[in-house]
Amino acid sequence: MLNDSRFEPVISVNNLNHYFGKGQLRKQVLFGINLEINAGEIIIMTGPSGSGKTTLLTLAGGLRSAQEGSLKVLGKELCGAN
């Protein structure tokens, strides 16, 4: 089967979890996020303050690394910790 990158998602997120803090202060802020964004799609994220919108964007932008899950942008793995 041919791998045609025209049909691969621009952003692919699989079971993404993210935490802030360490030890007893560790707090989970993203819980099992699954998302695919294809070329040409427009995505709107809404939610209350502290719901993880900015955290997800900083992860997708490569400004931060997630501790668990997989995040690919343009086919490149940005974080793939288990």
> pLDDT tens digit string along 2-48?
555 667 899 999 999 999 999 999 999 999 999 999 999 999 999 99
Report d(CA 2, CA 6) in Å as an integer: 11
List the strands of the sheet with 11-20, edge to edge.
27-37, 11-20, 68-73, 76-79
Among candidate residues 30, 31, 32, 56, the one with its CA nearest the CA of residue 43: 56
SS3 at position 23:
helix
Q: Within the chain, how many helices (H) and strands (E) appear?
A: 1, 4
Which carries the bigger pLDDT value, residue 41 or residue 1?
41
Please tell me whether the overall predicted TM-score, pTM, comes out greater than 0.85 for this model.
Answer: no
